[in-house]
Amino acid sequence: MVNRSPRGRKRFFIGGILVLALALVGGAAFLLWNGNAKGSWRLNDAWRGQNLNHPGPVGGQMLDGAVAYLATAPKYDGSKVYPGGIPNDGTGVCTDVVWYAAKAAGMDLRDLVDADRRADPQAYAATAPEGETANPDIDYRRVRNLIVYFDRHAQSLTTDTTDVASWQPGDIVVWKEHVAVISDRRNAQGLPYVLHHEGNGILSRYEADILGNRGKVWRHYRLESLGAKLAGH
């Protein structure tokens, strides 16, 4: 039998607590990752009030596109530029969620951003690093370029997250260096979750209740008018 001193017993106790805490965190991370990987990644709709979801046709299609893409459980990797622009190895970043969402609604943001940047390079030059040239394979995968494009062509809406009814499924929300698609499921206060891709770290998941607590919202867009314009040419 080991006869520990009071100090030794205290260290042993603290060590046990740390091991237990690590096990709990590791278990939670595994459950979230496993849920993401196997398709059980969507959050339960906690809102029990009147229906707040009224997406237009484009918003509904974008929602479906984002959900379908994230159901493939892409791994986060922003280190590569792919020929043709679209990741083909099961990886992706936050902007790819928006590309797949828009693509499902008939809008190819790769081509649209490239054409817009070439038509008005000065509009994009203000936020681009000095000497950067247009590259269709990466331009649409940069949040700063999406901001320029959507500022010019999409409907800009309130960034007030307390105005819960103004946030509709398929809308796009932008924070500093991150972009997401608004979900059709909401928390208990009626604020929608977001569909996004933000790395493979602990507690990271594809649908998250972060709209009201991730930090300052930079932009809020709706693409109904853009989709109608492109459909009508």
Number of folded domains in the chain? 1
* DSSP assignment letter at 135: -
227 vs 21, higher pLDDT: 227
Asked whether residue 134 carries a pLDDT value surpassing 60, the answer given is yes
What integer is the mean pLDDT of 9-27? 50
Instruction: Say what the pLDDT of residue 196 is.
Output: 97
DSSP letter string, 15-48: HHHHHHHHHHHHHHHHHHHHHHHHT--PPP----
Please report, in angstroms and rounded to a whole number, the separation of the first and last CA atoms in the chain.
83
Residue 20 lies in a domain: no
- Specify if 114 maps to a domain: yes
Q: Do the domain assignments include residue 56?
A: yes
- Domain assignment present for residue 23? The answer is no
In a domain, 15, yes or no: no
Q: How confident is residue 205, by pLDDT bands cut at 50, 70 and 90?
A: confident
pLDDT at 135: 96
Burial category of 149 from C-beta neighbours within 10 Å (exposed 0-12, middle 13-18, buried 19 and up)? buried
Query: Could you report the per-residue pLDDT of 40-55, keeping only the tens digit for each?
Result: 899 999 999 999 999 9
| 174 contacts 221 by C-beta, under 8 angstroms | yes
**3 is a domain residue:** no
Cβ atoms of 203 and 28 within 8 Å: the answer is yes
pLDDT digits (tens, 9 = 90+) for 52-105: 999 999 999 999 999 999 999 999 999 999 999 999 999 999 999 999 999 999
CA angle 21–202–209, rounded 5-degree value? 110
Domain hosting residue 50, numbered range: 41-232
Neighbours of 233 (CB within 10 A): 4
Task: Give me the amino acid identity at 31.
Answer: L
The structure tokens listed for 214 are 């991730």
pLDDT at residue 21 is higher than 50? no
Which helix or strand (DSSP H or E) is residue 91 part of? strand 91-92
Condensed to tens digits (0 to 9), the pLDDT of residues 143-174 reads 999 999 999 999 999 999 999 999 999 999 99
| Angstrom distance (rounded) from CA 69 to CA 197 | 10
Residue 63 lies in a domain: yes
Alpha-carbon gap, residue 218 to 224, rounded angstroms = 20
Contact indicator for 221, 155 with CB cutoff of 8 Å: yes
Rounded to whole angstroms, how far apart are CA atoms 231 and 226?
9
- Tell me the whole-structure pTM to 2 decimals: 0.84
For residue 16, being part of any structural domain is answered with: no
Distance from C-alpha of 150 to C-alpha of 138, rounded to nearest angstrom: 17
